[in-house]
Amino acid sequence: MPIGSITRGTTGTNRLRRVDRWIGRLPAFLRSPAPLVVDLGFGASPATALEMHDRLSLIRDDVRVVGIEIDPARVALASLSARDGVSFQLGGFEVPLEHGRPATVIRAFNVLRQYGEADVLAHWHRMALRLESGGVLVEGTCNESGRVASWVDVTPEGPASLTLSLRLTGLELPSIVAERLPKVLIHRNVPGERIHALMAELDRHWRLHVGLGTFSPRQRWIATVASLAGEGWPVIGARGRSRLGELTIAWDAVAPAGFDWRA
Ligand SMILES: C[S@@+](CC[C@H](N)C(=O)[O-])C[C@H]1O[C@@H](n2cnc3c(N)ncnc32)[C@H](O)[C@@H]1O
């Protein structure tokens, strides 16, 4: 029996472009001898898995994408769109793959948000066990259009980072992403939690750099990220990532109080 339960299948074309772009830059994906990427919980249509293959195959033409869904009817429908490099199969958090092969990357987007917060760690562990050495589970959430997104990179050794990814044009406050945080953090945006401090600091720095907005929201975001880093937030990644409206922070700086990967 697949592990998990069938939930709403809401999905959309182009919704996961930001996280596809992220996966396309992961060293795990770039260096794998034969990249196998899983789109876990692809939903009511196979669009996100097909698009993922379209995008990733521009970078690695040997990539294979496997869409896994717990709803048999959705798998049957998606299988009509299978093509070279893209297949679909029934499964859950146990991530079943042919011959027990481990995955290079597992993306689980807008899946765990429909589970309880207390279940997250067990499901992270289960999926991380299915990664090849150096592989990454990218688990996150976004809004309907994909313009507000966030995800955690989880490795077999534990969570490594939190990434926020925002469309900057028309952005009022970066803390809009609080509504779309991964399940492990969404209920922790309260005083005393590190993620709450990050949301407050992000907004403060964004306001401070309001003047740069007249040049471009991108300049304003780059300055926001730089000044957060200047105040000691462990920002990861090159400046080029801020140009994309992203901010990546080391996991320990945002982990919920009492979080313990080994628990
Ligand atoms: C809201 S949809 C998300 C679709 C797509 N990932 C997206 O972000 O647009 C969530 C899907 O995950 C599926 N799902 C839930 N738990 C699952 C599990 N344990 N394993 C595989 N699929 C699961 C649900 O049946 C549903 O189709």
9 CA to middle of ligand 1, Å? 6
Q: What is the pLDDT of residue 238?
A: 79
pLDDT in tens, the chain (263 residues): 999 999 999 999 999 999 999 999 999 999 999 999 999 999 999 999 999 999 999 999 999 999 999 999 999 999 999 999 999 999 999 999 999 999 999 999 999 999 999 999 999 999 999 999 999 999 999 999 999 999 999 999 999 999 999 999 999 999 999 999 999 999 999 999 999 999 999 999 999 999 998 899 999 999 999 999 999 999 998 778 888 999 999 999 999 999 999 98
CB 111 within 8 A of CB 42: no
CATH of domain 17-156: 3.40.50.150
Q: Which pTM value belongs to this model?
A: 0.98
Ligand 1 pocket member 134 (CB < 6 A)? no
The verdict on the CB of residue 41 being under 6 Å from ligand 1 is yes
CB atoms under 10 Å from CB of 180, counted, come to 21
Nearest CA to ligand 1 atom 6: 42
In the chain, what are the domain boundaries? Answer: 17-156, 174-253
Q: What is the pLDDT of residue 241?
A: 87
Q: What residue type is assigned to position 241 of the chain?
A: R
- Tell me the CB-side half-sphere exposure of residue 232, using CA atoms within 13 A: 3
CA distance 162 to 207: 22
Nearest CA to ligand 1 atom 7: 11
* Other residues' Cβ atoms within 10 Å of the Cβ of residue 165: 25
Mutate to test the pocket of ligand 1, among 70, 95, 127 (most ligand atoms within 8 A of CB): 70
Are the beta carbons of 202 and 194 closer than 8 angstroms?
no
